[in-house]
Structure 1
């Protein structure tokens, strides 16, 4: 399906208007697209602004500045100067200058109501306040003593008079207000002093009575609890007893554990000596005294025992030295038993039992001491709790008295300061910049015109933005890619043809190829380069997957899929690949006209068994390019394409050619492309950016995806030059659900109709385009003018008239009678 031929040859693919990939509207695009609308609204805004300027009365402004200084005695009182500096801040004076109290005094004293600016007003106070503005010499000097005041009015002389009256009224207000404030402050502080003094006396008297009655031991100004001191001492003694009890129990447990394990009695005795030494080091005196007679013998006995063990390892048990060491050890044990306490007839076992019994007595003693200390501690604790309430009450009395004394001291100090400075301090206001005759400040024509122009521009931009939001066409390749989820294989510019003249080189004037085949006629042109870019993208996308059979289709009639298929086949053939271009568009065959070939034998003949493949394949004027036209138009094109013979034909062509390019009808017009799509390796969707391109493209991709077709990508066709990612006009004669009658003059569809002489078969199309054919195919395209027959709309209405469809209008190349071999 070739697009309508435009008069432009050059083309460009500018940026789209979307703000981001996949949607939105770019403000720059709105400005460019609707620039004249914005200019119109801007001009209207300027005109309205000028009318507004002419209707506004003049406004005059007068200004003045005053210096406000506090006269005060410098006192070395901390905190006084900072407080007064805060009182003289700019914010306070600016509020007072515009206060109703000051303004009403000025109006009354200086008779401002009689001025020409306020004639007819009973009380101009509110108007004056609304027209006043306080200023400061510096934007950061919020505490400056210099205050500026401006007034805006309709009379330049009245502006100066109003400011002068306000300054005079404010000066009087400051003097009166300060004197009144000082007097009131002194009275309030005196009253506070008397109240605090009375409260302080009452609290001190109550505290004296409490001290006389409270059972506390008074140390200076504070009372102490004797029971708490005793508790501390008892707790220290109890902790010491607990430690001694734990140590005694641990010694006793260690000795009993050694005896239970069957240890040597001499070793246990030695252990007792070590434990006693540890107990003495920890403060448990008397443990070593009980073992003093045995310590020296135990040390010697231990040394002899070690000597015996060493000799046994070296000489054996019967060696004389071993026997001598054993004899010395026995003698020492006998001697130790004779000199140790309880030695009369007792051995080590009796000593251990006596020592354990002494430890048990010591544990009982510690437990009795601990029990007595616990009882004493509980008694003192109960007594201390009884006196705790008195302690809390004592602390409360002392804190209250201290706070009252501090507050009383501050009040007395402040009263003394006020008494010292009341005769020396005051506020003085001096006018440093007298108000002058007012100058005109409004209306300002440049400002009004600027605002009016901006409002008009924004109104025009808003209207343009709304128009863009209602535009449902695709605006850019990025939007197509994001919305459909498919890559963009290329952008084909509009193929320009001037009316009645082909824009092709003179050397190619006699070529049988149609002028729309720009790859052949203008190989160095931008259009040809665009098709070669599509070819390159196709190579990269099909190289690793072995896709050889490519179907070219489109959503709508007039999207240019036939022109794209033919030019893409030419571009692939130019690269040295063997290509066959198969025209499967029985409804509107165009390939034979593009290539200047006969259409007597073709695809319908092969499927019906009326011809062999060598008879249907035709060589073209382009090297490496063969074609199979549609052949005679069948009455059942969809049924032919669903036959097994069509699928077998595709398999044969896949084996004999490098690429098979199939030109099929639009997806939304008829069901033929839906039948072809599952039988090919990949599908390329040709898309023209019309007003309904978004919805139709989505519907087409959904239809192909539901059939399991592999859609490689989208080819955007008929891109116009200029700042718009444009689209061209289109015409079509496709439709569906139509009817044709043999021998009838008419064929009509559900939404369109076609008529012609002879036999007819037709479909109607839901966008108002009729799809049908009779004996003439001028219902679709006029080869002489490259425009739809009947002018702008004949094809769209489905009307037709003319000659037999089997006779091409151009010169034909010789058909190949034998099947080319690889």
Structure 2
């Protein structure tokens, strides 16, 4: 069988092999457990908030809300298809609506409503909304304000109205709700209706003012542009007359566009240049014909009908002539006649070909002469055109200025006409959908809503308080905190006893307390290579944490496992084992440490528990001096010779030197920690004292553990009462 040995943590505390850190608990379950432990704090906080919400609701003055609905169109309907001064908005243009919502909450509109309803000089209006001021403008004489300071009162009245008006757009629509809250339902209705009426008036006035300003501006600008246009035209005509620049009027192109003006020289140059190109093409063609006629039969001769007819006739006569020569001599009269015809035809063909060749040469000479004349004329026009171009630079500058001024003038004139039409035929784009009616019941306070808010606020505040209390609570609450916070391996969680004595629970083999300590014994089997340590000291940070009960219970379960066990009460300052067993402590540990021998005479046998006991003996003047001697080591040697296990109920660690002295001489130390009873910082200090004394701390036992107060989500709420009728016995903790 392989045996495992304990190791030590970074703090020097023994860690059981094979036991890792406690499994991490999901945060949601930790918080739920925390809320369950602090449920009365949360319940009390929630109840207080509900009572406070009820009282505040009953004390609040009822408020009445009047509401009206407006439809704001993106653009007004135009009778004439012209655009006004204001920019048209598209379907997705939310900028327009955001502007309208801002105008609905403008200070000018609020002050206009206050003036129309005569609220500026009404003291009851300011009293209704609880406004008080010591300024001279609000001095009341004879139930009325003083004449001075009306401007200040107007500003304050507008601010009061803006504080109680609300503008709520309806999503994905053109509708907007305007509501006003006040203690008087009739007054709320008057304000809302006056607000919508004045908003419509202000919109119309702003539209008219914008158009009127634009017309006045355009009139002034048109007059300036007209004068500039006349001046530029005079400059253009004067310069053209001085330089004798004559341009043809602009012509209309086929596509409807208007071309620029052209000068006479440019027009003549374009015409002659086209004629020159045609003459050059004619000359090239005549030259080609002439070259072809010089190399043989001209092509034109081959295409001549008269020559082709003569050649056909000659072919017939030549054929007849050859036939006669076959039969007769050339001197035959008929043959001579045919020969004479052939000669005559040849002379006719030669004359016709000479005539065609002369015609080609004549055409070539005419083409060359025409080309030369046109080329000379074009060269002359080029010089004239370049000279005119140089003189037309300033002319073009004047022309562009004239064109620019004319375009500006025409555009502004057209815009001026459109604004005049649009400003006179536009209609309002704001309409009242539902006018405000006096509300029949108050809109606030709302009792159920306030109570619901108070309930949620109480729950939230209670949860925050519970969380703060948990953060401030340093007590060890759960078994997993032994390892996570203290770095102390957990040997077991001991349930708290309710209405039952520890002695009775230990003697009951079926009690949950015995089951818990049996689990501790099982864990101790793995702490050393020989199982449960032979000498054990059980200590705690302070008294009443359950260390004596733990020592008694461990001795009992070891004895029931057929082990020889002796329980030594090592607390010589406040002994308790003798009272748990029911024996006298007149002769015990203090006697032996003081020098008395015969340890057998100091042992008592507890028949009901099955082990031997050595009580603390008489209380010595200074227990620490007795423990520093070698007598304690000698006693442990004698007892281990006779018993399998020696269990020592050690004094608490804090403030005493007894526990470190005892812990340094035993094989292992078990540290008892009270659940929800001591701060973790004190426990850590006590553990460090034992570590400094070279004590071997095996692990810790969490005593007086209550599952209902635990943050653990699993593992510890199973209980040790499985299979018994009293299932609630598992919730009891050792005292």
Correspondences of 1:663-742 after superposition (within 5 Å): 663-668=649-654, 670-689=656-675, 693-719=679-705, 723=709
Q: How far, CA to CA, are the matches of 1:590 and 1:148 in structure 2? A: 81
Residue 524 (structure 1) shift: 1.1
**1:290 is matched with which residue?**
none
Structure 1 residues 549-571: Cα deviation after superposition (integer angstroms, max 9, x where no partner): 21111222222322210111111
Decide whether the 8 Å contact of 2:633 with 2:665 is kept in 1: yes
User: SS of the residue aligned with 2:671?
Assistant: strand
Is the counterpart of residue 438 in structure 1 residue 439 in structure 2? Answer: yes
Once the two structures are TM-superposed, the CA of residue 471 in structure 1 deviates from its matched residue by 5.2
Is 1:59 the counterpart of 2:56? The answer is: no
1:528 is displaced (CA, Å) by 1.2
Aligned position for 1:169:
198
For residue 405 of structure 1, report the CA deviation from its aligned partner.
10
Deviation, 1:441, is: 1.4
Give the aligned partner of residue 447 of structure 1: 449
Indicate which of 532, 546, 552 corresponds to 1:566: 552
Of residues 399, 406, 418 in structure 2, which corresponds to 1:420? 418
* Post-superposition offset of 1:538: 1.9
Counterpart for residue 503 of structure 2: 516
Counterparts of 2:219 and 2:65 in 1: how far apart (Å)? 52
Q: Give yes or no for contact 1:25–1:469 (8 Å, CA) kept in 2.
A: no
Q: In the alignment, is the contact (CA less than 8 A) between 1:542 and 1:548 conserved in 2?
A: no
Contact kept, 8 Å, 2:225 with 2:408, in 1: the verdict is no
Q: Is the 8 A contact 1:576 1:624 kept in 2?
A: no
| Separation in structure 2 between the aligned mates of residue 174 and residue 585 of structure 1, nearest angstrom | 95
Shift of 1:93: 1.9
| Residue 157 (1) aligns with residue 186 (2) | yes
Residue of 91, 102, 108 corresponding to 1:101 = 108
SS in 2 for 1:64: strand
Cα contact 1:494–1:718 (8 A) shared by 2: yes
Q: Paired residue for 1:585, among 571, 575, 581?
A: 571
Whether the aligned pair in 2 keeps the contact of 1:517 and 1:594 (CA below 8 Å) is: no
Task: Give the Å deviation of 1:70.
Answer: 0.9
Cα distance, 1:684 vs structure 2: 1.0
**Structure 1 pair 614–432 and aligned structure 2 pair: CA distance change class (3 A):** closer
Measured on the aligned residues, the alpha-carbon RMSD in Å equals: 5.0
Q: Could you tell me how far apart the structure 1 residues matched to 2:477 and 2:544 are?
A: 19
Cα offset, 1:61, TM superposition? 1.6
Q: Say whether the 8 Å CA contact 2:568–2:647 is kept in structure 1.
A: yes
- Relative to 1, partners in 2 of residues 1:478 and 1:80: Cα closer, same or farther, differing over 3 Å? same
Structure 1 contact 486–713 (Cα < 8 Å) conserved: yes
Instruction: State the alpha-carbon separation in 1 of the partners of residues 178 and 52 from structure 2.
Output: 35
2:77 maps to 1:71? yes
Q: Distance in 2 between matches of 1:688 and 1:490?
A: 12
Counterpart of 2:261? Answer: none
2:66–2:436: 8 Å Cα contact kept in structure 1? no
Q: CA deviation at 1:707?
A: 0.7
* Alpha-carbon distance in structure 2 between the residues aligned to 1:483 and 1:407: 90
Aligned length: 492
How many angstroms apart in 2 are the aligned matches of 1:556 and 1:88?
73
2:543 corresponds to which residue?
557
Correspondence for 2:258: none
Could you tell me the TM-score, scaled by structure 2's length? Answer: 0.55
| C-alpha distance 534-545 of structure 1, shift in aligned 2 (>3 A) | closer
Is the contact made by 2:66 and 2:437 (CA closer than 8 Å) also made in structure 1? no
Q: Residue 66 of structure 1 contacts residue 431 of structure 1 at CA under 8 Å; is this kept in 2?
A: yes
1:686 Cα shift? 1.7
Following TM superposition, by how much is the alpha carbon of 1:710 offset from its aligned partner in structure 2, in angstroms? 1.9
CA gap 1:477/1:407 in 2 versus in 1, 3 angstroms = farther
Distance 1:678 1:641, change over 3 A: same
1:745-772 deviation line (CA, Å, top 9, x unaligned): xxxxxxxxxxxxxxxxxxxxxxxxxxxx
CA contact (8 A) 2:54 2:447 kept: no
Does structure 1 retain, via aligned residues, the 8 Å contact 2:114–2:158? yes
Alignment of 1:408-807 (within 5 A): 416-417=414-415, 419-420=417-418, 422-424=420-422, 426-428=426-428, 429-439=430-440, 440-452=442-454, 473-497=475-499, 516=503, 518-519=505-506, 521-543=507-529, 547-596=533-582, 602-603=588-589, 610-612=596-598, 619-621=605-607, 625-630=611-616, 637-651=623-637, 653-654=639-640, 657-668=643-654, 670-689=656-675, 693-719=679-705, 723=709
CA distance in 2, matches of 1:181, 1:584: 103
Deviation at 1:518, TM superposition (A): 2.5
- The TM-score normalised by the length of structure 1 is 0.50
Describe the shift of the 1:407–1:51 C-alpha distance in structure 2 as closer, same or farther (beyond 3 A): farther
How far did 1:461 drift? 6.5
Distance 1:666 1:585 in 2: 8
Separation in 2, partners of 1:27, 1:190: 81
SS at structure 2 position matched to 1:683 = strand
CA change 1:522–1:99 in 2 (3 A) is: same
Where structure 2 has 5 or more consecutive residues not aligned to the other structure, the ranges are 1-24, 127-143, 146-152, 237-398, 712-734
Deviation of residue 460 (structure 1)? Answer: 6.4
TM-superposed CA distance for 1:474, in Å, is 3.8
**Residues 130-149 of structure 1: matches in 2 within 5 Å?**
130-138=163-171, 140-141=172-173, 144=174, 146-149=175-178
Superposition deviation, residue 708 in structure 1? 1.4
CA distance in 1, matches of 2:528, 2:226: 101
Indicate conservation of the 8 Å contact 1:667/1:673, yes or no. yes
The structural deviation recorded for 1:719 is: 3.5
Q: For 1:669 and 1:86, how far apart are their aligned partners in 2?
A: 79
C-alpha distance in 1, partners of 2:698/2:225?
97
Q: Structure 1 residues 641, 450: CA separation in 2 closer, same or farther (over 3 Å shift)?
A: same
Where do 5+ consecutive residues of structure 1 fail to align?
Answer: 1-17, 206-400, 503-514, 726-787, 789-822
Pairing of 1:273-422 with structure 2 (within 5 A): 416-417=414-415, 419-420=417-418, 422=420
Map of 1:179 onto structure 2: 208
In the alignment, is the contact (CA less than 8 A) between 2:46 and 2:455 conserved in 1? Answer: no
- Equivalent-residue separation in structure 2 for 1:187 and 1:705 (angstroms): 98
CA distance in 1, matches of 2:641, 2:404: 111
1:28 aligns with 2:35: yes
Q: Report deviation, 1:606.
A: 5.2
Report the CA distance between 1:39 and its aligned residue.
Answer: 5.4
Residue 178 of structure 1, CA deviation: 1.8
Say which SS state the counterpart of residue 442 (structure 1) adopts: coil
Deviation at 1:717, TM superposition (A): 2.3
2:526–2:532 Cα contact (<8 Å) kept: no
Cα contact 1:30–1:461 (8 A) shared by 2: no
Shift of the alpha carbon at 1:116? 11
Provide Cα deviations, 1:176-225, integer angstroms capped at 9, x if missing partner: 32233234345556777868997999xx99xxxxxxxxxxxxxxxxxxxx
Deviation string for 1:225-277 (max 9, x for gaps)?
Answer: xxxxxxxxxxxxxxxxxxxxxxxxxxxxxxxxxxxxxxxxxxxxxxxxxxxxx
- 8 A Cα contact 1:490 1:714, kept in partner: yes
Residue correspondence of structure 1 range 215-234 to structure 2 within 5 A: none
Distance 1:158 1:665, change over 3 A: closer
